[in-house]
């Protein structure tokens, strides 16, 4: 098969019948070839294949950054026809994902017929109907390309989820599963403990089994049940509207080249009964209502139409999730799992996780593109930093005070205001005979943000800033800047005492920020010292200190390199804004360029 026939835009774009080129990490080049002459031959063929201009980019990341600036699919398709190497680089799935979303959105993206974004683009652009056929010939490997950039998506999609990543449960728990045996006194005790130990102290907690008896868990246990009820309804996915039919086809496709999986994260739920009829969220007198709805959620004073987005339905495939972020407007949140398993890791508001680089006002964040990339690069080192470098010291003096847990169907987690958190949708731990494999590959949750008496001082601080990039939840930036004034006006009318108390706490907090306690200064100094060591890693240590310095600098070195690369590449920060997806992620070109830069550096 000739190169041009692989990249033609005719109706037959079925990858089942195409010959292919294997892709392996660049480092394998030095192990698989027996002689230096063979290595030189491959590097020479690379130069010949890419031409003088592109072969000058020895780093694949630079070459991919150049290709990311191509905004015309026809130009990219022509580039695939030039040579074997050009075909491989220009067929990179993220490039075609960006082009497809920019031109077509997701409204008609049906992955039941296509497995990758390039194929989907060809079908849509030519308005053809593709029918998946049985193989008419055996696929033939035409050669091998050695490239870290091209291999990375496959590596991420096939990362082993290590046992150490999922075996720790350090978030406190309250057992709420035995609702039939609970008395009124028991529920009052649970509510009192939740308020005193967790909400008022701004600490996370898992309420095990609190949503176990929600009708939604049994009713939406299968994909067929969801599709029968909501299949034609449109939801927000990555800033674009598409039907649930199309999104589930995306979740269930076989593709190991799309490492940044799209989440369905919709703040404008089309079917209100998803919240009212199938859950116990609004049932007065129930434990859930007493914990999260009875006295909290003071944004309700603005009215349902004028308040910021605050409740979402979330779908996602296995291994998808959200990278590190803090929730909007200083609010706290609850997250109820209806299907699947979610791995949570949370950091206190004054500790930025390693590998995460927020802007000065926290409005935007640069971090690894996917949660699993963060775990692969930072998690094990984070554990070794806590165990070895601070051995024998009090927990309060350690560098990081993160907490982690896993939530399953029926569990509800409370996420405190301004805590950094990252979530991964884990594959099933064991096969469930009651569920098909396709059903086990789709995760479903409901979540909501709220303003309570305990987090109101933080909310007022953010609203007072009138920063339209920091305040979120509206499509219009003018509404964001005026949210503080509107909220304070309504609170003075309806809850003046609560507002006044929050203002006093806000004033006390401001004084503490100006003069931090000595204990906090000492801890900050320790972290600063660790970072300083990272800047001196080029100096070779001598004697016994060599191994010790190497261990202590693991996290700081990775973090510093990541930060320096961002500055060298002059990439703009990726604003991770769950609460404003529709208005903040439609600029797919800018986001994709930044994301792919982060992606290529993370596992190199």
The 10s digit of each residue's pLDDT in 43-52 is 777 777 777 7
| Alpha-helix runs per DSSP H in 294-415 | 371-374, 380-384
CA distance 304 to 169: 37
Residue 445 phi, psi (nearest 5): -150, 160
Residue 234 phi, psi (nearest 5): -95, 140
Asked if residue 583 is part of any domain, the answer here is no
In contact, 281 and 275? CB cutoff 8 Å: yes
Query: Does residue 588 surpass a pLDDT of 50?
Result: no
Token couple for 560: 């510093």
Spatial CB neighbours of 540, under 8 Å, sequence gap ≥ 6: 546
Q: Name the residue among 451, 184, 176, 177 with its Cα closest to residue 293.
A: 451
pLDDT tens profile 314-324: 999 999 999 99
Per-residue DSSP letter, 507? H
> Domain residues for 72?
3-157
Tell me the β-bridge partners of 208: 175
Asked if residue 134 is part of any domain, the answer here is yes
pLDDT mean over 116-140? 64
Asked if residue 497 is part of any domain, the answer here is no
Residue 415 phi, psi (nearest 5): -105, 115
How many whole angstroms from its chain centre is CA 444? 15
User: Is the C-alpha dihedral spanning 110, 115, 118, 123 positive or negative?
Assistant: negative
Query: Does residue 327 surpass a pLDDT of 70?
Result: yes
Amino acid 321: pLDDT:
92
Amino acid 434: pLDDT:
65
CA distance 210 to 233: 28
Residue in this structure with the two tokens 């509404």, named with its chain if needed: 479
Per-residue DSSP letter, 262? P
Asked if residue 370 is part of any domain, the answer here is no
CA distance 36 to 337: 55
pLDDT tens profile 355-366: 999 988 777 888
CA distance 252 to 376: 24
Asked if residue 502 is part of any domain, the answer here is no
- DSSP E strands: which ranges in 349-419? 357-358, 365-366, 403-408, 412-415
Angle at 312 between CA 306 and CA 318, to 5 degrees: 160
In contact, 444 and 340? CB cutoff 8 Å: yes
Token couple for 378: 């930072």
pLDDT tens profile 410-462: 999 999 999 999 999 998 877 665 678 888 889 999 999 999 999 999 999 99
How many whole angstroms from its chain centre is CA 390? 30
Give the SS3 label for residue 386.
Answer: helix
In contact, 266 and 313? CB cutoff 8 Å: yes
Query: What's this model's pTM, rounded to 2 decimal places?
Result: 0.78
Query: Does residue 299 surpass a pLDDT of 80?
Result: yes
Query: How many domains does one find in the chain?
Result: 1
- How confident is residue 474, by pLDDT bands cut at 50, 70 and 90? confident
- Please measure the distance between the N-terminal and C-terminal CA atoms of the chain and give it in whole angstroms: 32
Angle at 262 between CA 259 and CA 263, to 5 degrees: 130
* CA-based R_g, the chain, Å: 26
Residue 537 phi, psi (nearest 5): -70, -15
How many whole angstroms from its chain centre is CA 507? 34
User: Is the C-alpha dihedral spanning 486, 490, 496, 499 positive or negative?
Assistant: negative
Asked if residue 67 is part of any domain, the answer here is yes
CA distance 317 to 251: 5
Cα–Cα separations (whole angstroms), residue 495 to 298, 492, 499, 541, 544: 9, 6, 6, 62, 64
Q: Given the DSSP bridges, would you call strands 205-208 and 173-175 parallel, antiparallel or unpaired?
A: parallel
In contact, 243 and 180? CB cutoff 8 Å: no
Q: Given the DSSP bridges, would you call strands 442-450 and 420-426 parallel, antiparallel or unpaired?
A: unpaired
Which of 5-9, 255-259, 429-433 shows the lowest mean pLDDT across its residues?
5-9
- How confident is residue 398, by pLDDT bands cut at 50, 70 and 90? low
Residue 30 phi, psi (nearest 5): -90, -5
Amino acid 422: pLDDT:
96
User: Is the C-alpha dihedral spanning 253, 320, 64, 378 positive or negative?
Assistant: negative
- How confident is residue 199, by pLDDT bands cut at 50, 70 and 90? very high
Asked if residue 72 is part of any domain, the answer here is yes
Query: Does residue 117 surpass a pLDDT of 80?
Result: yes
CA distance 101 to 115: 15
Asked if residue 90 is part of any domain, the answer here is yes
């Amino acid at each position: 098969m000739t190169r041009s026939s692989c990249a033609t835009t005719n109706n037959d774009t079925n990858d089942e019948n195409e010959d292919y080129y294997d892709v392996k990490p660049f480092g394998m080049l030095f192990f698989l070839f027996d002689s230096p002459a063979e290595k030189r031959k491959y590097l020479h063929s690379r130069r010949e294949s890419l031409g003088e201009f592109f072969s000058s980019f020895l780093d694949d990341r630079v070459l991919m950054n150049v290709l990311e600036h191509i905004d015309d699919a026809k130009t990219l398709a022509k580039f695939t026809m030039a040579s074997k190497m050009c075909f491989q680089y220009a067929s990179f799935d993220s490039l075609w994902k960006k082009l497809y979303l920019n031109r077509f959105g997701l409204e008609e993206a049906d992955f039941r017929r296509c497995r990758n974004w390039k194929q989907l683009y060809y079908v849509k652009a030519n308005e053809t109907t593709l029918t998946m056929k049985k193989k008419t010939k055996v696929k033939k490997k035409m050669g091998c390309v050695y490239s870290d950039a091209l291999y990375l998506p496959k590596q991420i999609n096939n990362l082993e989820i290590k046992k150490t990543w999922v075996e720790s449960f350090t978030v406190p728990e309250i057992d709420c599963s035995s609702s039939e045996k609970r008395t009124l006194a028991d529920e009052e005790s649970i509510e009192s403990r939740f308020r005193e130990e967790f909400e008022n102290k701004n600490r996370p907690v898992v309420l095990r089994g609190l949503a176990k008896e929600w009708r939604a868990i049994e009713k939406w246990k299968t994909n067929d049940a969801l599709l029968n009820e909501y299949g034609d309804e449109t939801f927000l996915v990555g800033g674009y509207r598409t039907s649930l039919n199309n999104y589930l086809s995306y979740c269930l496709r076989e593709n190991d080249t799309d490492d940044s999986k799209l989440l369905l994260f919709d703040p404008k739920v089309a079917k209100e009964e998803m919240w009212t009829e199938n859950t116990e969220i609004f049932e007065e007198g129930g434990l859930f209502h007493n914990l999260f709805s009875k006295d909290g959620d003071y944004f309700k004073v603005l009215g349902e139409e004028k308040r910021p987005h605050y409740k979402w339905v979330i779908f996602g495939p296995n291994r998808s999730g959200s990278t590190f972020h803090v929730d909007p407007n200083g609010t706290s949140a609850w997250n109820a799992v209806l299907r699947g398993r979610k791995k949570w890791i949370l950091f206190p508001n004054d500790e930025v996780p390693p590998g995460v680089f927020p802007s000065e006002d926290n409005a935007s964040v640069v971090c690894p593109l996917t949660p699993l990339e963060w775990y692969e690069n930072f998690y094990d080192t984070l554990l070794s930093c806590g165990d070895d470098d601070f051995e024998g010291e009090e927990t309060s003096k350690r560098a990081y005070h993160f907490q982690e847990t896993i939530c399953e169907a029926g569990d509800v987690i409370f996420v405190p205001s301004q805590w950094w958190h990252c979530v991964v949708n884990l594959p099933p731990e064991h096969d469930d005979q009651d569920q098909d494999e396709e059903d086990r590959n789709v995760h479903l949750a409901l979540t909501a943000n709220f303003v309570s008496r305990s987090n109101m001082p933080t909310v007022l601080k953010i609203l007072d800033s009138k920063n339209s990039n920091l305040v979120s939840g509206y499509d219009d930036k003018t509404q964001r800047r005026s949210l503080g004034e509107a909220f304070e006006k309504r609170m003075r009318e309806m809850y003046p005492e609560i507002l006044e108390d929050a203002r006093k706490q806000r004033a006390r907090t401001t004084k503490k920020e100006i003069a931090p306690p000595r204990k906090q200064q000492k801890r900050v100094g320790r972290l600063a010292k660790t970072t300083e060591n990272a800047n001196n890693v080029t100096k070779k240590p001598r004697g016994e200190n060599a191994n010790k310095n190497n261990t202590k600098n693991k996290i700081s070195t990775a973090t510093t390199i990541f930060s320096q690369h961002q500055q060298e590449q002059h990439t703009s920060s990726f604003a991770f804004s769950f609460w404003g997806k529709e208005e903040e992620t439609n600029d797919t070109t800018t986001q994709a360029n930044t994301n792919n830069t982060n992606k290529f550096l993370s596992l190199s």
